Structure 1
């Protein structure tokens, strides 16, 4: 009888150990999947913000080129006008992607402001207004990057 009792206890102990191992492994897998999801979302945000910053930088360059072209009465005005529309569309598209992925209102505000400041550098403004716009757009891009860095640091897992 003692042998049967010992066998039953051994089987129950083995079964209990197996169930505990299964539960621990399942919990570990869930935690790993959750962390991987958080990191994947963070990386999507980093990519979206980087693409937007790059698009804004390109848009800013084209706006400045276009201003110079119009004010110097160069022959490349039509080309730059078309390029301006293309890069603006890319910038707006990139901004929408950021707004889909980011809930932070300060970062979203800086995204909109940077685009608005760059758009204000239109061909008809004076040289002084252009210089002011160039400086303001550089500052707006810096503020955008600072807001993005702050947001991404707060959104880091762990």
Structure 2
């Protein structure tokens, strides 16, 4: 019986060591997995937010071009081409907005993106150069507000 007690203690110690090691490894594995997932989400958001900002910037340029071509000659092929391009760019920006809506972690980011898209889409409706400048500036500020909110959503 004297030899059984140390053996029993050794077996129980081994079992306890295995259980504790397993718990530590599982916790460590979960932490590593959570970190990887959060880094992947951050990377995805960065790509989507950057794509949206680029699409809205191109839409802004296209809307300004459309406005200028219409002022030059509303019946010209240049105006037709600029209008067609602005429709294409609006579709690209709308697609980018949908991606923001799918991945954003904050309703404020989605609202800012939607606002930036709408402000940019309305640029070509300006009645004169002064209003065109004001619409363009408003669209630029809307995009900057989106970028500020989106950058806080990356952390």
For 2:126 and 2:36, the matched residues in 1 are separated by 50
- What is the root-mean-square deviation of aligned Cα atoms in Å? 1.8
- TM-score normalized by the length of structure 1: 0.87
Q: How does 1:38-117 map to 2 (within 5 A)?
A: 38-73=38-73, 75-117=77-119
Which runs of 5 or more structure 1 residues have no equivalent in the other structure?
none
1:98-135 Cα shifts (integer Å, max 9, x gaps): 11222422222211111111111116621111111121
Q: CA deviation at 1:90?
A: 1.0
Q: CA deviation at 1:43?
A: 2.1
Partner of 2:122: 120
Q: CA deviation at 1:147?
A: 1.6
Count of matched residue positions in the alignment of Structure 1 and Structure 2: 153
For 1:105 and 1:23, the matched residues in 2 are separated by 37
For 2:77 and 2:126, the matched residues in 1 are separated by 17
Partner of 1:148: 150
Deviation >3 Å, runs of 4+:
none
Which runs of 5 or more structure 2 residues have no equivalent in the other structure?
none
Distance 1:124 1:6, change over 3 A: closer
- TM-score normalized by the length of structure 2: 0.88
